[in-house]
Structures are given as C-alpha cells and as structure tokens.
Structure 1
C-alpha cells in the first residue's frame, strides 16, 4: 500500500462545509430582513450583531472550503 503525504478531506467534511455555508447565507439574509423591519434600538443592535456574526462565519467557511479544495488543511 502506498501512502501519500497529501492530506485529503473526506467527502463528508466538504459536504458539511458546503451545507454550513448555505445555512450561513440564510442566516445573513434573515438578519438583513429583520433589520429592515424593526425600529427598536435594541432589536437593531441584535440584527447588526447577527449580520456581523454571519459575515465572519461566512468568511471562515469560504476559507475552509478553499483550503479543502486545494488540499491545504
């Protein structure tokens, strides 16, 4: 049996990352819709927090997907 030094991601990880990316996109969209529909300052702060959190999660997932595609994880 020949072993390779390259790390390969199992399809389950790639599938998980892509599903997480889709869920994050939905969270981002829902937070924007919520922000557009409220006037209460506390709710505005809440939706801004959710948008920022979804944006950060999206960036991390994109990086992980890119690294899994190139085999650099």
Structure 2
C-alpha cells in the first residue's frame, strides 16, 4: 500500500512540477529513511524502503512515456 501511494505521489509530482518536484520528493523519502536510521526504528526504515520502491517504479514508468530511445539519449 505504501509503495503504491508513493508511486501515485511520484506521478502527481511529475505532472505538477516536473523533474524539480521529483528531486524534492526523492529528498523527502531519503530524509525519512535517514531518520529511521538515526532513531534506529525498523518500521520507519521499512516504510522508507517501500516509498523508495514506489519512487523507482514511477521512474521506470516515466521511461515508458518516452516515444523512442533517441529522445531519451538527448
């Protein structure tokens, strides 16, 4: 459930703000993960890994939106 919600957040962030919003979203997910390490809470770490998984799936989905690989190279 958590990875799906972060996947949806990824799509919304890209639609509304582009790559800059994706960078901010990745920073937020990374800070959640680092706070779990700092406080030594495995629940926070597991949640953050699920968020990062949803973010990664969202990035893979963005690659599918590119019509051809030539545009991806540029």
TM-score by length of 1: 0.54
Distance 1:53 1:61, change over 3 A: same
Equivalent pairs counted in the alignment come to: 54
1:67 and 2:73 matched: no
Larger radius of gyration: 1
Structure 2: which 5+ residue stretches go unaligned?
1-13
Distance 1:62 1:43, change over 3 A: same
Runs of 4+ more than 3 Å apart: 15-18, 21-25
Structure 1: which 5+ residue stretches go unaligned?
1-14
Q: Deviations over 1:6-46 (max 9, x none)?
A: xxxxxxxxx94873x54333322211121112221111100
Which has the bigger relative contact order, CA under 8 A and spacing at least 6?
1
Within-5 A mapping of 1:19-58: 19=18, 21-38=19-36, 39-58=40-59
User: Which deviates more, 49-58 or 26-35?
Assistant: 26-35
More helix by share: 2
Distance 1:49 1:42, change over 3 A: same
